[in-house]
Amino acid sequence: MARSLHVLRDTVRRNLFGVLTACISFGILLFFLFWGGGAASLSQIAAASKPEWLLLAIGCCVLVWLLEGVTLHLFCRALYKDWRLPYSVCTGLIGILYSCLTPFSTGGQPMQIYTMHRLGMDTGKSGSIIAIKTLVYQGVLLVLTLVMIVWKLPYFQQNVSDFSFVTILGLLSNSAFLLFVALFFFSPRITDRLLRGGLKVLMRLHLCRKPLVRYSKIHRELSSFHGSSKLFGKNPRLYLLAIFVTVVQILLGCMVPYLIYRTFGFSDVGPDVMVAAQAYVSMVSAFVPLPGASGGAEGSFLLFFGPFFPTGTLLPATVLWRMLTYYMSLPMGALCTWISGHLKPLPKAEAIKTE
């Protein structure tokens, strides 16, 4: 018990900025809820609410978490035949947790690599898995959003102010990120040049005492990384299955605002428009430089879903949406972090050879 409390305290201390940002974001949401008159309509909303729709919204969020682990597990099993699904589910939720707590959502992938390494997978292969999984997710999200733009373009041009600017910004951010990950994943030569350049900078800043030793160690891990990349490249069925699961995962996440809309007793707007709006919100808020896209996510939701919710219900809907899609994942991620610390590491000898 004392050890668990010590680990929890260290985790909070390392992510103090993210925790404070999450608390401030929640405080701002509550402030606008009560200051904007949203609290006055809560009793009316509660009286007219339909809890079965809220349960469906919660169920969608849980399925999104599980499918995050399932997609990860598909790639893990391609390299480690004895890798277990609970390991992947825990790793997936740990990634969600640290993405929520770090600026630009940068902490999720490194913590997943660290967790997988501690559970028995070498760093090169775990880095390869996380890179291709991230590439698949961002690629699917970008393509789905482009489809939604073409499908519902006239509606959002008429109902959302600054729609073109927001869309272009989101597309450029996601495209740049995809290009960077793909470059790192498919080009060993460029990766090696970046490694050499980075070590030279660190050496000149007197932050790296033994650059040749560091280079040799990291180069071995990168060789394993690109060896795993080649294995994935020979398995198109794996990619297709991962893409399918990711499409289902994103669509389930995009259904949450519609289910909240139905929870409030409304039914005038169909799910197709709201799914498209949530796809926009996910893309636009993905690179907000604050933990959990705080501020950007709420602002995007107010911008895109303002036309759907009647006066007095938009702010309560924003709070509920944020609770389900962001704050609910924090304790679940913390629980999985604790569980992963008690999972038995797998022997590294069981890894599938890729050389």
Exposed (0-12), middle (13-18) or buried (19+): which is 144, by Cβ within 10 Å? buried
pLDDT (mean) for 219-248: 74
Closest CA to 145 of 275, 307, 340: 275
Kindly indicate the confidence band of residue 15, based on its pLDDT and cuts at 50, 70 and 90. Answer: low
Q: Is the pLDDT of residue 271 over 60?
A: yes
Q: Is the pLDDT of residue 351 over 60?
A: no
> Tens digits of per-residue pLDDT, 75-125?
998 888 889 999 999 999 999 988 877 765 566 788 888 899 889 888 778
Gap between the Cα atoms of 86 and 130, Å rounded: 17
Instruction: Say if CB 280 and CB 174 are below 8 A apart.
Output: no
pLDDT (mean) for 225-254: 81
Gap between the Cα atoms of 303 and 281, Å rounded: 9
Q: Where are the domains of the chain?
A: 51-343
Q: What is the pLDDT of residue 241?
A: 94
> Tens digits of per-residue pLDDT, 275-317?
988 888 877 766 555 555 555 677 778 888 888 888 778 888 8
With tokens 């402030």, the residue in question is 31
Q: What is the pLDDT of residue 353?
A: 47
Better-predicted residue by pLDDT, 174 or 340: 340
Q: What is the pLDDT of residue 72?
A: 94
Instruction: Say if CB 247 and CB 141 are below 8 A apart.
Output: no
